[in-house]
Structure 1
Amino acid sequence: MRIGDAAAAAGLTPRALRYYEQRGLLTARRTPSGHRDYTAEDVRHLRAVRELLTAGLTIEDVRALVAAIEALPAAAEPRTDGEPGLCTLPNMIVRRRLTYLDERIERLTELRDGLTQRVGGPLRDLGRDLGSTG
């Protein structure tokens, strides 16, 4: 199917599809005339990418997940040598992103709390002073 049809089926825009391809999240096949050609499997892949991005992962996270999933053998055996196997890589990527988000939330909460404290003191007085200058 052509790019417009694939984009609509995946809930994306053609521009987003081209961007995902440019960033290495998908490789489109080409017709002899050079047009992109997508399959139903590509549409499923694009929907999964969209969901992962919507969930809060970055393009780089999704690219790493796609690479890890594609590298998994059909019957991946768990590693017994204590080293992370391919099956654990997706979990590591998600945990890393969650840790980053938790750190950002903590920092933003600190900023909000600091601003709230300041608004309750000097800034409130400043607003009162400015309002009485008329």
Structure 2
Amino acid sequence: MQLDTDTQSPHTPLVAKLYTAVDAMNATDIVALVDENVQFRLGNFDAISGRDAVEEANVGFFETILAMHHTITGIWSSGDTVFCEGRVHYTRKDKSTHEVPFAARLGLNGAKIIDYYVYVDISGL
């Protein structure tokens, strides 16, 4: 995970921690950051609920790729909502690469993420 932004947010450390875990493809570290009742949606997949479902979905997705790396170019906060955007660089199992823009909206419940929506087109994977 690389931060390449001039925007400042009180939630920058949380975003950095989340995307470090995502890029490490570590579902356990990801779910440590989410609320027990989290709502999660990746791309145009249906939303899922709960920490266990989020962990299972991330493990399943990570099995389809070799690696990924996020470059975050903006982070903004409004109350308990955090927005970030950037580019995600995927390495497929055949070692070819694919890069696309992404954006995420994170709703917070205290220090935990309760709404986790990622807007990205992964159809090229």
TM-score surpassing 0.5?
Answer: no
TM-score (norm 1): 0.26
* Higher-strand-fraction structure: 2
In our comparison, the structure showing a higher alpha carbon Rg is 1
Higher RCO, 1 or 2 (CA under 8 Å, sep at least 6)? Answer: 2
